[in-house]
């Protein structure tokens, strides 16, 4: 127990803010009993589609102590990616906002590494792992436990102060820190804007997303042909989808990010519909060298573009 370090949490949060994180919260590293049934039901109904990794290491997803020896605390952080600019050609295929700049995995990993080193040098010696989609972790569940928001009907974490256009990352450490005493209650109320707006009806019930119907899944995670039954429903989305976030009232006051790494390549937002359609591999490599779009690979992006062309 580190009962003598009463200001440890405040120091960590101040450092997180200095590093550019929107928010930071701390929770006790323990078994996620409440999430177990929901996760198992989702997997049993095969709503994870071809993301077979989601069915692996379920025990580790539910218990961070199996990921980090002697884990005591989970530090959750949020990093804003809401852009100040948008694509200029309104007819161009639409790229998800999170993919405008440098791949967030690199950016967040670096910042979390700095935060871990700060804790080790300024708070107390400890060991831990920096996690950004790099291990079986239920990011949103931990962020909610840390008091950073609630999981909304579109299954995204919603913050009353910051909306939902942010990335989530964690530090799991073997140092016992004072856990957050606050919980952000569900503020979705009777609102169903995200459910109503989803063109593929992927939000099959409040708080339940069938990934197989999700445009983000189909354009990024699905490595086979895109489901032909969804044709005509993509609303010109080529990589990812922001629709359920764009319509959310909690994003009305979203502020523009201040992270230089997330600024789009100068050419990217100027691409016309024709330039997207005719994109060759050298252009792809130039525009998306350090981008999350690399996950889809050039062949995957061209597949998505063909699919959109067939929709029209």
pLDDT at 312 > cutoff 80 = no
8 Å CB contact between 132 and 108: yes
pLDDT (0 to 100) of residue 6: 63
10 Å CB burial of residue 260 (0-12, 13-18, 19+) is exposed
Please tell me the distance from the alpha carbon of residue 184 to that of residue 203, in angstroms, as a whole number.
22
pLDDT (0 to 100) of residue 52: 92
pLDDT (0 to 100) of residue 176: 94
Q: Work out the average pLDDT over 44-58.
A: 94
When comparing pLDDT for 199 and 295, which is higher?
Answer: 199
8 Å CB contact between 115 and 19: yes
- pTM of the model as a whole: 0.95
Contacts of 71 (CB under 8 A, 6+ apart): 29, 64, 65, 128, 172, 173, 174
Q: Work out the average pLDDT over 262-289.
A: 95
Q: Work out the average pLDDT over 17-34.
A: 96
When comparing pLDDT for 180 and 301, which is higher?
Answer: 301
Please tell me the distance from the alpha carbon of residue 234 to that of residue 190, in angstroms, as a whole number.
26
8 Å CB contact between 282 and 203: no
10 Å CB burial of residue 206 (0-12, 13-18, 19+) is middle
Question: What phi, psi does 109 have (nearest 5°)?
Answer: -60, -40
Q: Write out pLDDT tens, residues 115-160.
A: 999 999 999 999 999 999 878 899 999 999 999 999 999 999 999 9
pLDDT (0 to 100) of residue 135: 84
Report helix, strand or coil for 131: strand
Please tell me the distance from the alpha carbon of residue 61 to that of residue 59, in angstroms, as a whole number.
5
Residues marked active site are found at 133
% of the chain residues with pLDDT over 70: 98
Q: Average model confidence (pLDDT) for the chain?
A: 94
pLDDT at 2 > cutoff 50 = no
Q: Which helix (H) or strand (E) holds 215?
A: helix 215-216
> Residue 176 has which token pair?
């016992």
pLDDT band, very low/low/confident/very high, at 181 (cuts 50, 70, 90) = confident
% of the chain residues with pLDDT over 90: 93
DSSP string, 221-245: I--S---GGGTT-STTEEE---HHH
Please tell me the distance from the alpha carbon of residue 120 to that of residue 109, in angstroms, as a whole number.
16
pLDDT at 240 > cutoff 70 = yes
Residues in the chain: 312
pLDDT at 1 > cutoff 60 = no
């Amino acid at each position: 127990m580190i009962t003598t370090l009463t200001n440890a949490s405040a120091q960590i949060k101040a450092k997180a803010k200095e590093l550019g994180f929107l928010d930071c919260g701390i929770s006790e590293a323990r078994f996620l009993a409440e999430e177990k049934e929901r996760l198992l039901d989702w997997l049993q109904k095969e709503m994870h589609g071809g993301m077979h990794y989601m069915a692996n290491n379920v025990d580790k997803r539910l218990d961070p102590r199996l990921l980090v020896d002697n884990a005591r605390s989970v530090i959750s952080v949020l990093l804003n990616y809401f852009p100040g600019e948008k694509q200029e050609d309104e007819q161009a295929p639409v790229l998800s906002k999170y993919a405008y700049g440098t791949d967030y995995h690199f950016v967040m990993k670096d910042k979390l590494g700095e935060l871990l080193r700060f804790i080790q040098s300024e708070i107390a010696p400890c060991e831990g792992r920096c996690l950004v989609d790099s291990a079986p972790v239920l990011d949103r569940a931990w962020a909610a436990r840390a008091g950073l928001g609630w999981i909304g009907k579109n299954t995204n974490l919603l913050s009353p102060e910051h909306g939902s256009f942010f990335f989530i990352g964690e530090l799991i450490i073997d140092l016992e820190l004072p856990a957050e005493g606050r919980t952000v209650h569900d503020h979705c109320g009777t609102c169903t804007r995200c459910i109503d707006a989803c063109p593929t009806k992927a939000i099959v019930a409040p708080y339940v997303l069938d990934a197989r119907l999700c445009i983000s899944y189909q354009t990024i995670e699905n490595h086979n042909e895109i489901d032909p039954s969804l044709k005509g429903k993509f609303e010109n989305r080529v990589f990812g989808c922001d629709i359920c976030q764009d319509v959310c009232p909690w994003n009305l006051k979203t502020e523009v990010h201040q992270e230089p790494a997330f600024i789009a390549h100068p050419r990217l937002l100027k691409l016309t519909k024709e330039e997207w359609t005719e994109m060759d591999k050298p252009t792809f490599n130039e525009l998306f060298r350090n981008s999350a779009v690399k996950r889809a690979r050039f062949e995957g992006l061209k597949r998505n573009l063909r699919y959109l062309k067939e929709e029209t």
